[in-house]
Chain A
Amino acid sequence: MLATLPLPFYFLIGGLLSIFLPKGVIKSSFVCLVPVLALIALLNGTWDQGFKVQFLDLELNFMRVDKLSTVFGIIFCIAAFLGNVFAFHLRESTQPFVALIYAGAAIGAVFAGDLITLFVYWELTALSSVFLIWARKTEGAYHSGMRYLIIQVLSGVILLFGVALFYFETGSISFVKMQLGSLATVLIFIAFGIKCAFPFMHNWLQDSYPSATITGTVILSAFTTKLAVYALARGFPGTELLIYIGAAMTVFPIFFAEVENDLRKVLAYSLNNQLGFMVVGVGVGTELALNGTTAHAFSHILYKALLFMSVGAVLFRTGTSRASELGGIYRTMPLTAIFCLIGAASISAFPLFSGFISKSLIMSGAGKEHYQIIWLILVFASAGVLSHSGIKVPYFTFFHHDSGKRPSEAPAHMLLAMGLTAILCIYIGIFPNNLYALMPFQVKYEPYTFEHILTQLQLLCFAILAFYILSKLKQLPSETRSINLDFDWTYRKLMPSVVGKLLLFLELIEQRGLKGFNKFLSLFMDRIYQVSGPEGILTRILTSGTMVLFIAIVLLVVLGIILF
């Protein structure tokens, strides 16, 4: 029985059970245990036949287990475990419950063999995860949670409409490779794109993730977007459009990340940029590139969680995650600082760290298919990653000028979660073949060639040098305690002022347009209210005479239609 139980049910049942457990160590341990059990079940389970359920005249498959879905299943289980360990200190009911349901929904979507099941879990991820944002219980969190929910549910509705059309066009609901070209697949593609934070659909990500609770952000960062990457890899591999979308995604968040002060927001932008790499991989669509996407999603979930954890731990201890208010914290939080550096090294793709062995797969994939310009963009984006995630985040948090804060080291369970994640990051970096063995296709790839390492190190060294020179130059004018402000100012100045002005202009247009739209909308709503509100003509209480007149008219119309 247990062997054939669909994997998401472990989480859903576990989540429901967790409600009844007493708050505290028991509940926290239980929610850590569930993903472990699920992982064991996944590694030992046999779902060769899937788990099929007849629904109306459709056959649903809850467990389509192949290599692609298994990799994502494994990493989602690991991420759920690490996230829950990190959240061990919580003494409440909502977040542990929601975290399990959310993870279960994401895993359910990954194993969904048909589009209906996919849709159900797709919506469930939205409905459950929003509580991780609301759990922060601030006015801002409430509103950004609401915006998040609306966008996510919208994605689901678009998906449902696409699926319905797809079903009526093809008579099939199985979730396999699709071609862009009909309205149905375009709708499905857009639904995936919203969740994957495509450019112009990305704002929900930077809006919501930094607004969530400390532990909530760690959990959020793992699932929703990677689920979308999985869905793209499953549904639209080799769609050339994705290459350009992905390339744009790698580049534009860099500028925003550079000027952002809230470090969790910086990480949210860099998450977007990392997604770009994966989307490019899906777009290239060769075996090598798809492997790259999968491997990159795997390692990305780990190091991004690690970065969010370390910044979260700082936020937990100091109450702020703003770059301008932090600095010099390595003195009292040395372990957290080390873990953060490991995460930073991984995301910047230093050799021997996980990012290196996965990102180079995608880059090689793009290079081999002769997308030179894309390759150059990816190189540029890699430098950008190093600058904002690899250097900016740890530098401003733990080093830089001394903020005077002397927080104590992160709590033990957070250190444990970060430590485990860090070990995984390094382990994958050193022994890439263990990860490659999980990949959907046979990998004949050696990341540690002389050429690879050299290129990467050159890139990294120059990026670091540039950072160093810039900081040195701008520090020269005054070596006083106001360095932070100074440096911030210059750092922002680094952005060509043109870009800043352009952004300002775009913002202006957006606001004007929004204002006009709002005005139109409110006028329209007023009109509807006049007609159908309590005083409106549509709802007035009528006298019996008027009603009878209605009846007579309808009778005449009916007789007219029937007799003539």
Chain B
Amino acid sequence: MASEIKEGTLDLINHLPILQVITPMLIAPILVVLNNKTLSWLLSFLGALACLFISVLLIQTVSDGSTLTYSLGGWAPPIGIEYRIDAANSILLFLISIISVIVLIFSYSSLHVEIPEEKHTLFYACFLLCLTGLLGVVATADIFNVFVFLEISSLSTYVLVAQGSYLDRRALSASFNYLIMGTIGATFFVIGIGYIYMATGSLNMMDIAERVSELGDSRTVQAGFAFIVVGMGLKLAMVPLHVWLPNAYTFAPTVVTCFLAATATKVALYVLIRFVFSVFNYEDSFVNELFFFLIMPLAIIAMIAASVIAIFKQNLKKMFAYSSLAQIGYMLLGLSLVSEKGLASSLVHMVNHGFTKAALFMSLGAFMLNTKNVYINSLQGLGRSMPFTSAAFVIGGLSLIGVPGTAGFISKWLLLEAALGSGYWLVAVLIIVSSLFAVIYIWKIIEVLYFSESSESYSEVNVLTLTPIWILSFFCIFLGINTSLTVEVANMAAEILFK
């Protein structure tokens, strides 16, 4: 399909890409000035809602395969900063915005348990900055701009993770480790950008792509690629570089864990995808070799090893952190097949897993409001005393396993199809094996929830807390039945990236 570039006849459509990013950024300082915790919640919520609205508009605009461009400050692209929205990033913008809205609903009731009240305003400001960063990374087509937004989101993430220290001091060391790893990742990334700039003299993705193909076999560009892959590998928690993730997810406040698990790693993966397909040439042998010899084996190791580790975890947040690593393995696997189907399955899994994992972490958060911790033994018999939360949890769990009728099935099916389509039979078997491990750890929890007697009785959480959980569970089912939003957009995105 030929992709035509929309100049935007409507004024509003024309400015949507920047509005998407700048709305939360503008609200953040206002929160700090107002310094009122209820008002900050309300403003953040409205801001996130506005982002969601804009992202829906964007997705509609580009869903016909077109691309929407925006030149920041009116400077034409190769020199000025350009924002480019197409099918691939519009779907991620949507994911990030909607998760932020849902998470903010949940934060209204959960935050006061986890964070002292005087910090709430600053927390929301940080949250909005993180949101800005993630949206910006996805929207921009300027590689240095990617770095800037990545740092905005990362720096605020470190702060957000550290907020868990009011419940558990280990959040501080987790955040510190994350800070070190994240900074190294960002440094590698910016070194990579430096190499590319050195070789091509440009920072605009489209422009670089042209110049790179003119350069031919350039060692500088290849070294730049290596640094970018490792830098993003750190951010997206590719297996040997994942060490920061389990602790950061475990000790961060529930809201933060939900938000990060659903979005942050996906954004890093998106950057990797964008660089591979829009900046470098995916047909180059060095890209293919890297994917075949390194990324694919690492993805498979992540799929299997992280799932096995998850089985033995008693702390459920940690269990699902490891399960996230395995899921990232699926996405990397889809990418490393370097086929249109594989890429599409990767993109779909990003969205589906975002909703699934958010639903799981959020229902864990709801359990935690009652039990104060999420060790597997403290959940005994909660299936009876908290039936709605537990049911939502089970739906999320089924989706994580990939039971037909849930979102997880769609992406796993696509991934299987892609793996078999590329002739990797063994890989397909390993995908199934890893799903079976997921059955084990999910079943362990279901057994505790429903088949053991509870020592204490708790009451169900209030409706306001249940609403976001059930919205997410609803998506887990809805995306498993109606695939027009995910699969079609992802197929289109894969087509655009592969052209």
Contact = CB atoms under 8 A, between A and B. Distances in A.
Given A119-B404, A557-B294, A534 B314 contact: yes
B252 to A, nearest CB: 16
A439 B222 CA distance: 70
Given A56-B483, A120-B404, A542-B243, A532 B223 contact: no
Contacts of B225: 562
A558 B413 contact: no
B234 A534 contact: no
Contact of A539 (B176, B177, B309, B403): B309
A562 B404 contact: no
A498 interface: no
A39 to B, nearest CB: 26
Given A529-B312, A532-B308, A547-B243, A561 B230 contact: no
B226 A559 contact: yes
Interface in A87-123: 116, 119-120, 123
A538 interface: yes
A550 B420 contact: no
A16 to B, nearest CB: 13
Interface string B143-183: 00000000000000000000000000000000011001100
A551 B308 CA distance: 23
A55 interface: yes
Interface in A525-564: 528-529, 532-534, 536, 538-539, 541-542, 544, 547-548, 550-551, 553-555, 557-559, 561-563
Given A56-B410, A554-B233, A561 B180 contact: no
A548 B241 CA distance: 9
Nearest to B421: A168
A282 B103 CA distance: 56
B111 interface: no
Nearest to B488: A56
Given A532-B309, A534-B314, A562 B290 contact: yes
A127 to B, nearest CB: 9
B487 A541 contact: no
Contact of A120 (B176, B177, B233, B405): B405
B313 interface: yes
A558 B294 contact: yes
A161 interface: yes
A133 B487 CA distance: 39
A529 to B, nearest CB: 6
Interface in B245-290: 246-247, 286, 289-290
Contacts of A553: 240
B405 A555 contact: no
B226 A558 contact: yes
A164 interface: yes
A120 B403 CA distance: 9
B180 A547 contact: yes
Contacts of B410: 56
A562 B222 contact: yes
B451 to A, nearest CB: 8
A415 to B, nearest CB: 36
B229 interface: yes
A533 B290 contact: no
Interface string A472-483: 000000000000
Interface in B450-480: 451
A553 B309 CA distance: 23
Contacts of B176: 544
A558 B290 contact: yes
A161 B230 CA distance: 36
Given A161-B432, A551-B184, A561-B293, A168 B226 contact: no
Interface string B199-227: 00000000000000000000100110111
B404 A563 contact: no
B247 A541 contact: yes
Main secondary structure of the interface of B (DSSP, over half): helix
Interface in B286-307: 286, 289-290, 293-294, 305
B320 interface: no
Interface string B27-65: 000000000000000000000000000000000000000
Interface in B405-456: 405, 410, 413-414, 416-417, 420-421, 432, 436, 451
A562 to B, nearest CB: 5
Given A56-B410, A541-B247, A548-B180, A555 B290 contact: no
Nearest to A545: B180
A542 B173 CA distance: 11
Contacts of B313: 534
B234 A551 contact: yes
Interface in A1-22: none
Interface string A512-528: 00000000000000001
Contacts of B417: 168
A120 B481 CA distance: 13
B309 A538 contact: yes
Interface of A: 55-56, 116, 119-120, 123, 142, 157, 160-161, 164, 168, 528-529, 532-534, 536, 538-539, 541-542, 544, 547-548, 550-551, 553-555, 557-559, 561-563
Interface of B: 176-177, 180-181, 184, 188, 219, 222-223, 225-227, 229-230, 233-234, 240-241, 243-244, 246-247, 286, 289-290, 293-294, 305, 308-309, 312-314, 403-405, 410, 413-414, 416-417, 420-421, 432, 436, 451, 483, 487
24 contacts: A55-B483, A56-B413, A120-B404, A123-B404, A142-B451, A157-B432, A157-B436, A532-B312, A533-B312, A538-B309, A539-B246, A550-B240, A550-B241, A551-B181, A553-B240, A554-B240, A555-B226, A555-B227, A555-B230, A558-B230, A558-B290, A561-B294, A562-B225, A562-B290
- The 10 A-B pairs with the shortest beta carbon distances in the complex, nearest first, are A532-B309, A533-B312, A562-B286, A558-B226, A559-B226, A555-B230, A544-B180, A547-B243, A562-B226, A562-B222
